[in-house]
Structure 1
Amino acid sequence: MKYKNIDINQYVKAKEYIDTALIPLIPYSFSNDQELEDLALQGEYIYLFANQIEKELKGRVFLTPEYYYLKTDKITETESFRLEHLINHMKSQPFKYIFLLTFDNKWRKVTKDMDAELIWIPAMKGGDLNQSETQQLVQSQIEEIQSLIKDSWSE
C-alpha cells in the first residue's frame, strides 16, 4: 500500500493486516552542484527501492510518503526529534514494524534508541537506473532487504 487515494481506501478496510511501515529517508541540499546531483540520484534510488519492496510485499507493507531532511554534517537534535515523533505516530496507528530506508549512515547512531529498524544501504554514486548492471545490483539488494523484513515478522 502506498500513500495514495486508491491504496488508502484499501488500507482503511484492511489495516489490521498491514502491520509494517516503510519510511524512505531522503536528504537534500543545495550547497554545491555535485552534492545536489548526488543526492537527487540517491533520492531516485531510494524511491526505486521503496516502491519495489512495497510492490513485492503488498498487503503487509505500507509505504509512507518520503521523509525529506536537509543534509548537514550531522543529524541535528531537531531532525532526530522530528523523526522520532513520526515513528511514535506510526506506532500508534498501529504499525508493529517500522523500517527506515536510507543511504545516509549518519542515521545509524541517531536511530539506535528509536522504535524502528534502520536499513542502511551503502550509497550508490553515478550510474544509470536503466543499465542492466545497475538494475541487477538494485534487485539483489531489494531481495536482501525483503528477507530482512520477512525475518522480523517471524520473531
Structure 2
Amino acid sequence: MKWTETDIAVYEKEREYVDTAIVPLVPISLTSNIKTIVSMGEYITIISGELERQLKGRLLLIPAVTYLQTESMDERVDRLKQVEAELFKGGMKHIITLTADIDWKQSEGQVESALLWMPAIPLEHMEGQYKMETISAQVKQVLQFVTNTWQSNINS
C-alpha cells in the first residue's frame, strides 16, 4: 500500500494484515556528486515502488526519509530512529529500510529496522526491456530479503 488517501483508507480497515513498512532512504545534494546522489535515490524509489506493487496488502510504503549528504551519520540515524519509533508505535512489526548509500552499512547495528543496502545500478542508458529485466531481478532479491525478515521474526 502506498502513502495515499485511497490506500491509507484501505490500510485502516485491513491494519491487522499489514505488518511491514518499507522505508526508502534517499540522499540529497546539489553541491557534490549530484548525478550519483540522484541515481541512488531514483534507483531506491523504483525498487521500493515495485516491491509495494508486488506485496500490496501486506506492506506499507512510506514516503522516503531524505537526508543531506553533508549530514553526519548520527543525525541521519537519529531521524531514522524517530521514524522507526512512530511506525512501531503505529503497529508495524517489521520495518525494512532500503538504501543505495553504502554509508548506512556502518550504522546498521544502531537501528531497529532491517537495513538492505543495494548498489545503485545506473538505469539512464539502458534500453526499456533490459531496464525492466534488471529491476525485476533486483526486486526478486529484495522479496527474498523481506521473506527472510518475516521468517526470522517468526522463529525468534
- 8 Å Cα contact 1:38/1:126 also seen in 2: no
- Where does residue 11 of structure 2 map in the other structure? 11
Code of the aligned partner of 2:130: E
Are residues 1:40 and 2:38 paired?
A: yes
SS in 1 for 2:110: coil
Q: 1:137 to 1:126 in 2, by over 3 A?
A: closer
**What TM-score comes out, normalization by structure 1 length?**
0.90
- Where does residue 52 of structure 1 map in the other structure? 50
Give per-residue Cα distances to partners, 1:44-70, cap 9 Å, x unaligned. Answer: 211110010001011111000011111
State how far apart, in whole Å, the 2-side matches of 1:56 and 1:75 are: 34
Q: Work out the number of aligned pairs and report it.
A: 152
- Where does residue 127 of structure 1 map in the other structure? 124
SS in 2 for 1:22: strand
- 8 Å Cα contact 2:123/2:131 also seen in 1: no
- Where does residue 102 of structure 1 map in the other structure? 99
What stretches of structure 1 of length at least 5 have no aligned partner?
Answer: none
Taking only the aligned residue pairs, the percentage that are identical comes to: 28
State how far apart, in whole Å, the 2-side matches of 1:49 and 1:107 are: 17
SS in 1 for 2:21: strand
- Where does residue 62 of structure 1 map in the other structure? 60
What stretches of structure 2 of length at least 5 have no aligned partner?
Answer: none
- Where does residue 20 of structure 2 map in the other structure? 20
SS in 2 for 1:118: strand
How far the C-alpha of 1:125 sits from its partner, in A, is: 3.2
- Structure showing the higher helix proportion among its residues: 2
